[in-house]
Chain A
Amino acid sequence: MELNALTAHELIDLLSKKDISPIDICNSIISKIEKQEKSLNALAHFDKEKALERCKNLKESVNKGGLWGIPIFIKDNISVKDELTTCSSKILKGFKPPYNATVIEKLIDIGAVLMGKTNMDEFAFGSSTETSCYGPTRNPWDLERIPGGSSGGSAAAVSADEAIFALGSDTGGSIRQPASLSGVVGLKPTYGRVSRYGLIAFASSLDQIGPITKDVEDAAILLKAISGHDEMDSTSADMPVSDYVSNVKKGIKGLKIGIPKEYFIEGVDKEVKDSIKLAIEELEKLGAVCEDTSLPHTEYAVSVYYLVATAEASSNLARFDGVQYGLRAENITSIIDMYKKTRKEGFGDEAKRRIILGTFALSSGYYDAYYSKALKVRTLIKMDFDSAFEKFDAIVTPTSPTAAFKIGEKISDPLTMYLSDIFTISANLAGIPGISIPCGFTKNNLPIGLQILGKPFDEETILKIAWNYEQNTEWHKRKPMNSHII
């Protein structure tokens, strides 16, 4: 088997036996990228010489670090010092941050090799990776289809073996939904589990960085690597980080799992429903106790999310004004003119739509009716989960109501597009962790994802459930037929 098709933990084994070198892995990835990246467009910035150089510069002494020699791709909204970090937006064209995000520092410290940046929806605004200024990323399972979004580049790269694993970010499902649609594992940690320092903010109270991997064990490894309190991020939690990798390899007998009825509504594909039902049966076979439950405020999640997230985004994106960095429009006559022209030229349609929506929601006269009310309902949604978790150890749902849709299918209809995050948004509003793992395929051979949601800071339980499921199924081993890619 090609090295690029392996998981991180398999490569760690091979590296420790000295059967292979980091350069071998890097080369294998490079050749895969050269073969198929043109048809996939999963990467925003990739320089093979630089990647090889980083590999060569690896010092043996950092071998102690758990990810020594393992290549990793980073979503384009996570700051890497002196490397292009553009959020796949024209307004950040050419922008190279003067510092590393905390997660990047952590990865470098333990010997991981930064390969490049993955494509994404502009500023993570989207569920299809179609709003990128670099053009859409294609789903490795069907090039006519989207890979999900906004971390679609990361998910597609991992799925198509251009990456061993990757970092994504999840504000309303941007890790889990593309993982589901691209047939890989995606984990959104608890809000506060992973430092956001250096993650270019979309919605500060919802954003989390997390792993996109080929299997659950890799998700555990990568989560462990990036978690922990950071004094540069006062919203990062000072909570102990457990040894996920060894702790998840335990049975799930007797674990109580809730199945919320609000996630099996009309509009969910029958094939998706069927796969989830089979997955639940599988979990029961493994000893879990699955019971129906209710999260009554689920129906408001999308509305609440599109007020809270856009309000924060409208403020977070104000700084892209042409003054200090990124794009500055030419032929300007005044400071106001500079702001207007720069932002008009720099932002795409979806970014503009969300900035306008968020600005509106915060405006005096509308604040109480929209933003303030949304915060109240957000609390209700969180309370739904609090009470469910009094009874259950985890909650299981579909990750997405449908499998991957076609490129262009929803891009001109924002409301339909927004509904593709209907099952992932609540976890962000409540701040709880969630993971998506492959649990089946449609008859068109498109992946289906199972979402497992857990208690705050209890990533261990959802990883454990996911790992047990994965050990007893073969879905994650399927690879896209990429003969058509080549």
Chain B
Amino acid sequence: MNYEIVIGLEVHLQLNTKSKVFCGCSTDFGSAPNTQACPVCLGFPGSLPVLNRRALELGAKVSIALNCQIAEKIRFDRKNYFYPDLPKDYQISQFDQPLAQHGILNIITGEAEKNIRIRRVHLEEDTGKLFHQKDSSLIDFNRCGIPLLEIVSEPDINSPEEAYLYLTALKSILEYLDVSDCNMEEASLRCDANISLRKKTDKGLGTKTEIKNMNSFKGVKAALEYETKRQMDLLKDGKRIIQETLLYNTEKGVTEPMRSKEEAHDYRYFPEPDLAPFNFEKSFLKAIEKDMPELPEPKKNRFIKDYQLSGYDAGIIVSDKNTADYFEKCVALYSNPKTIANWLIGDISRYMKDNNVSIKNLNLKESYLSGLLRMIDNGVITGKVAKTLLIEIIQTGKDPEKLVKEKGLEQISDANLLEAAASQVIAENSKSAEDFKNGKDNAIMFLVGKVMQKTKGRANPNKINEMLREKLKGVK
């Protein structure tokens, strides 16, 4: 039986405002417990919330970037439930009139593009953090009241891989907007997933489970993969799926039912009377729209058009804003964008991956990279030398031109020197020379490689190639 996987994701995003959403307390991460709290975020009797407009602004930015319709009227609601990390025992959130609705996020799955619909985006306050000890629990209220944006997708995601791509694409947009640290480990970005399976022929949705406690995008993918298999096995055995909330156990790589008793919650939402509803001023929205940065998708299209990059290359470069910025700075200094793209996607990204650094922290000035590439073009160094040199520039932070001079890495184009090397190689590798003469054209590459080896990569490979061909033909 063929099953279709149906996934919807709920992302909670801490917005990077300086102060909390309903009071003036700082939002800095990592301060001593309960040092960033006041009567308002502690929910003291008589205290009242006042909306931080900056949080609304950031929320609107995200909504615009996700192609949502933004509400005309901003209203908050109270979500009532008792929990010790929630000092008022209600959370100020948005219920039936969210900040924005009906958006779209585009993801690329292999060669195809797919639109994932965004159901809603709303603004709310974060809760405190509990620390459970043996006989007691402690609460840190520093996090309480940090603005949280909840982004809910429609169940348009059909595989764990698509879920991963959705999160990556979303994170990329959020980083472009500079609205959040997007750090899952510090919980500035959290993700819950709803997943169900249905027969391909079914119209309705199957029974879903909700998975929480995933702390990386890969964890989300792994959890969904596990849960897909678990549900599939149950269904194949003719068993039923129980609708429940599961926790992902990262160490074991399995989903487990939440141990605490899941009670059916009635949150008794009602309009927050302490925050009067107001109309979203057109001028305020216009100012935000004007302030929007170029987003990954339009940037990608522009890169394809202006720099003649392939869709694949452009996609990789724009997926990270800093890489895209770096690319454009290099383009301003060096005229062949395709070459820059090749280096960025190839050697540079390999180095970053191996050494676990980001482009932001990479010690490679745009002018050094463009200088390096220009030296190849001008025949000063060979591409092979350049590859080694790149690592050295990054590690030493030195100017490539100086390094080339210091180390004597200039390309050898001197005909006499090359001639000598070529003759020597032919003499030492007579079998390959014979093969070439007998029509095995590939053999020439082996001989070129030998010359390069002899010259420590400094020989001009094109010239060597020509010269070897001439020589071998001549001998005929």
Contact = CB atoms under 8 A, between A and B. Distances in A.
Do A and B pair up? The answer is: yes
Interface of A: 77-79, 85, 87, 92, 95, 97-99, 101, 196-201, 203-205, 231-235, 311-312, 314-315, 318-321, 323-325, 335, 339, 359, 362-364, 367, 371
Main secondary structure of the interface of B (DSSP, over half): loop
A323 B84 contact: yes
A85 to B, nearest CB: 8
A234 B276 contact: yes
Contacts of B273: 203-205, 235, 312
Given A232-B50, A234-B276, A319-B89, A97 B44 contact: yes
A366 to B, nearest CB: 10
Contact of B48 (A97, A196, A367): A196
A364 B426 CA distance: 89
A203 B42 CA distance: 20
Contact of B270 (A85, A97, A315): A315
Contact of A319 (B88, B269, B270, B276): B88
B116 to A, nearest CB: 29
A315 B46 contact: no
A83 to B, nearest CB: 13
B268 A199 contact: no
B45 interface: yes
14 contacts: A79-B46, A85-B46, A92-B45, A97-B46, A98-B44, A200-B45, A200-B46, A201-B274, A205-B273, A231-B50, A235-B273, A235-B276, A312-B270, A324-B87
B266 interface: yes
Contacts of A101: 46
A315 B86 CA distance: 13
A79 B46 CA distance: 7
Most buried by A among B45, B50, B90, B269: B45
Contacts of B87: 319, 323-324
Interface string B254-288: 00000000000010111001111000000000000
B449 interface: no
A294 B50 CA distance: 38
Q: Classify chain B: how many residues form its interface, as a range.
A: 20 to 34
A235 B273 CA distance: 8
A318 B43 CA distance: 10
Given A78-B46, A97-B39, A97-B46, 11 more contacts: A79-B45, A98-B44, A196-B48, A197-B48, A201-B46, A204-B273, A234-B48, A234-B274, A235-B48, A318-B88, A325-B45
B49 A325 contact: no
A334 to B, nearest CB: 11
Main secondary structure of the interface of A (DSSP, over half): loop
Contacts, number: 101
Interface of B: 39, 42-51, 78, 80, 82, 84, 87-90, 137, 139, 266, 268-270, 273-276
A234 B50 contact: yes
Nearest to A86: B45
A228 to B, nearest CB: 15
A359 B46 contact: no
A243 to B, nearest CB: 27
Contacts of B50: 231-234
B267 to A, nearest CB: 8
Nearest to B79: A315
By Cβ-Cβ distance, the 8 closest A-B pairs, closest first, are: A318-B89, A204-B273, A362-B268, A205-B273, A200-B45, A198-B46, A79-B46, A200-B46
B276 A197 contact: no
Contact of A363 (B42, B266, B276): B266
Given A98-B39, A319-B88, A362 B44 contact: no
A97 B87 CA distance: 15
A233 B48 contact: yes
B89 A321 contact: yes
Nearest to A99: B39
A379 to B, nearest CB: 13
Contacts of B270: 311-312, 315, 362, 367, 371
